[in-house]
Amino acid sequence: MAKKRVACFIDGFNVYHSIDDLKKPWLKWVDLKKLCSNFIDPNQHEIIVVYYFSAFATWKPAAYSRHQQYVNALKTTGVVPVMGHFKTKDKYCLNCNARCTGHEEKESDVNIAIHMLNDAWKDGYDIALLISGDSDLASAVRMLTKYFPEKQVKIIAPVNRYHCKELAAFSKKPAKILELHLQRSLLPETVTDSNEHVVAKRPPEYAPPADP
């Protein structure tokens, strides 16, 4: 019997901020394809594609550099990055009457929705594995289940996050990322391609604590 094809759709900022809240930065150097493998049965399922949706904070040089290293590392594992962008936005503080410039991430929600529906239309998967807790994606998942009822949807909540009830309603068995899943899915310190060329190095900020 043929294995069911799994396409994984990862809300990058949802995952990043959930890990950031743990105050364990080494867990940010996570192999997303390996992480997704924690939620499938290899005897019945096969991961066909892993999409990573995010955007570069180009106005923050250090964070931008770390993020670039991470995306380069993900590419070697076969993950497909789909990058949106940040839009500058004027903000006004009612308390101090000051104006400042903020940044708002754009496109990721739309990109996730488009890729989930487009790949379903092309019959690119049997199961959509969505890692996110963003209720804004509920309308896309609702449309997916309506027009492609033969497709299954599995919702995975980021670590230390509650399930979004609007999303979980479409999943028979919602699951959660645990710290254990992250810990056993870390990328190596130095990431090389198939020709053993170094393509990324773990930022010093993401180094795990030294063993006692």
Answer whether 77's CB lies under 8 Å from 30's CB: no
For residues 79 and 6, what is the distance between their CA atoms, to the nearest angstrom? Answer: 13
Is residue 211 pLDDT above 60, yes or no?
Answer: no
Answer whether 104's CB lies under 8 Å from 89's CB: yes
Which among 101, 107, 21, 91 is positioned nearest to 56, based on CA atoms?
107
Is residue 204 pLDDT above 90, yes or no?
Answer: yes
β 198-201/190-192 pair status: antiparallel
28-42, 80-94, 120-134: range with lowest mean pLDDT: 80-94
Please name the amino acid found at residue 135.
Answer: S
The percent of residues above 70 in pLDDT, for the chain, comes to 89
Please name the amino acid found at residue 50.
Answer: V
Let me know how long the chain is. 212
Angle between helices 138-147 and 108-121 (to 10 degrees): 10
Answer whether 144's CB lies under 8 Å from 151's CB: yes
Per-residue pLDDT, 27 = 98
Which among 67, 65, 75 is positioned nearest to 31, based on CA atoms?
75
Is residue 212 pLDDT above 50, yes or no?
Answer: no
Q: Does residue 173 sit in helix, strand or coil?
A: coil
Predicted confidence (pLDDT) per residue in 155-170, tens digit: 999 999 988 889 988 8
Question: What confidence tier does 210 reach under pLDDT thresholds 50, 70, 90?
Answer: confident
| Longest alpha-carbon distance in the chain | 66
Answer whether 33's CB lies under 8 Å from 184's CB: no
Question: What confidence tier does 91 reach under pLDDT thresholds 50, 70, 90?
Answer: low
